[in-house]
């Protein structure tokens, strides 16, 4: 059997990584056709990516047909897997998500706080359309979403679209596992971190190496500042001995926004004054990446791509597709329905959890109760996510305001309105649901 993979957002600078992953896995994941889909504004980028991809395919001596198109419906014909990696409004929209909250003394970040909510508002309606088209045109295809905020997007699609074969992925658990393996000087495939929580708000509560519990060793290394697993888009900060010993949890890099808020805000404001927003830095990095991609001599994914914050997303996505196709029943960390895995969260909520990956999709491994120190925080975050999804679909101002109000990085009734109003105005071209 030969497989067809469609990449929505094919002009992304990350695409060479997913192409590399598909090329490398061809013996076990026999993809014969890849179609890159993008929008009119992304024509030059997607064309550049396609040319590079075809050089990579030729260099690897594999038989894969790679094309690009702006016709999404045509691309979806006969698809087996559809990956989604879009950024509605591009990096210019992200810059607004970061700049406007910072202006009002709030953390400005693309997947957390006010910025993360606005990204969801712009993204969910577009991917709902994609999901409906997938369900109509290629109903047996799996949608693999790594568009942020991945957990909220995945929950919106699973609970509010007709298509149910949707899985969300993130590179944070992958980074945590590989950094932990490096720290303990063991192969990554021997490391299993038991994760509990939500996308970008997930904790590790146990670490196993070859079945042996090494949690305390990892906690000690973390206390002694011996390692860091922050991606390129997040400034690494130390965790105190008191935090680690008291919570007995392995935090992820995004937790600094919630538990080191003042320090992060201070550093973000300083970085903004000196270098502009992270989005503006990424725009420069992306421009240099695309200059590289245009070089005829380049026939592989360049190392410079790893400087992007989402590096290794594609490795996660390719491993997931490979495991579904081959019914590997291995364990991967993905975003999927809770279905009782965490009893304190709604049955149809989406969580980020270790799952057994089968041909019928992910089967989450039961975790049990949320550790007491973070139970209330995780429940509050899930309630906030539900409000964000509701507002994304309804377009009701009051729903949007409620989502802002309860977000832990805002929680100020006056600032919530001011920042919401400014962001809606800044993004009005991409928020048709709020402009009715």
255 among annotated binding-site residues: no
H or E segment and range at residue 83: strand 81-84
Instruction: Single out the catalytic residue among 14, 208, 229, 254.
Output: 254
For the chain, the residue count is 436
Cα separation, 304 vs 17, in Å, equals 11
Cα separation, 337 vs 151, in Å, equals 10
Orientation of helix 413-426 relative to helix 113-137, angle to 10°: 50
H helices, E strands: number in the chain: 16, 12
Angstrom CA distances, 78 to 50, 75, 135, 418, stand at 20, 8, 12, 47
Angstrom CA distances, 58 to 36, 62, 64, 159, 249, stand at 17, 7, 9, 41, 46
- DSSP string spanning 5-74? EEEETTTSTTHHHHHHHHHHTTTTS-EEEEEEE--GGGHHHHHHHHHHHHHHHHHHT---EEEEES-HHH
94 among annotated binding-site residues: yes
355 among annotated binding-site residues: no
135 among annotated binding-site residues: no
Q: Which of 315, 355, 319 is nearest to 337 (CA)?
A: 355
| Dihedral of alpha carbons 41, 160, 378, 199, sign | negative
Let me know if 401 is a catalytic residue: no
Binding annotation = 94, 148, 170, 200
Annotated binding site for substrate: 94, 148
Positions marked active-site: 254
Annotated binding residues for Mn(2+), written as ranges, equal 170, 200
């Amino acid at each position: 059997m030969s497989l067809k993979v469609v990449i929505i957002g094919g002009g992304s600078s990350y695409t060479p990584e997913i192409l590399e992953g598909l090329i490398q896995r061809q013996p076990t994941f026999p993809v014969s056709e890849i179609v890159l889909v993008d929008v009119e504004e992304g024509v030059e980028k997607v064309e550049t990516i396609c040319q590079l991809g075809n050089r990579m395919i030729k260099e690897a001596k594999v038989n894969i047909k790679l094309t690009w198109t702006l016709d999404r419906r045509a691309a979806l014909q006969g698809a087996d897997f559809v990956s989604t990696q879009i950024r509605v409004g591009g990096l210019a929209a992200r810059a607004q998500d970061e700049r406007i909250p910072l202006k009002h003394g709030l953390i400005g970040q693309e997947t957390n706080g006010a910025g993360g909510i606005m990204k969801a508002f712009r993204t969910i309606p577009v991917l709902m359309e994609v999901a409906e088209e997938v369900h109509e045109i290629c109903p047996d295809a799996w949608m693999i979403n790594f568009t942020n905020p991945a957990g909220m997007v995945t929950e919106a699609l699973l609970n509010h679209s007709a298509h149910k074969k949707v899985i969300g992925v993130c590179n944070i658990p992958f980074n945590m596992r590989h950094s932990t393996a490096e720290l303990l000087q063991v192969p990554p495939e021997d490391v299993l971190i038991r994760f509990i929580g939500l996308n970008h708000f997930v904790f590790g509560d146990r670490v196993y190496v070859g079945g042996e519990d090494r949690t305390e060793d990892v906690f000690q290394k973390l206390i002694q500042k011996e390692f860091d697993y922050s991606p390129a888009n997040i400034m690494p900060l130390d965790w105190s001995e008191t935090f680690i010993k008291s919570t007995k949890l392995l935090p992820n890099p995004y937790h600094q926004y919630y538990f080191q808020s003042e320090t992060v805000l201070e550093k973000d404001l300083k970085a903004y004054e000196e270098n502009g927003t992270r989005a503006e830095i990424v725009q420069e990095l992306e421009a240099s990446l695309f200059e590289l991609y245009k070089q005829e001599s380049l026939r592989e994914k360049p190392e410079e791509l790893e400087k992007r914050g989402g590096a290794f997303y594609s490795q996660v996505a390719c491993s997931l597709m490979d495991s579904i196709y081959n019914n590997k029943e291995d364990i991967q960390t993905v975003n999927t329905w809770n279905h009782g895995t965490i009893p304190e969260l709604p049955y149809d909520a989406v969580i980020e959890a270790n799952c057994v990956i089968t041909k019928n999709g992910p089967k989450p491994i039961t975790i049990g109760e949320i550790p007491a120190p973070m139970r209330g925080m995780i429940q509050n975050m899930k309630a906030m996510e539900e409000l964000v999804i509701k507002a994304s679909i309804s377009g009701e101002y009051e729903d949007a305001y409620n989502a802002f109000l309860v977000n832990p990085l805002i929680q100020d009734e006056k600032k919530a309105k001011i920042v919401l109003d400014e962001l809606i105005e800044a993004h009005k071209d991409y928020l048709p649901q709020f402009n009715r």
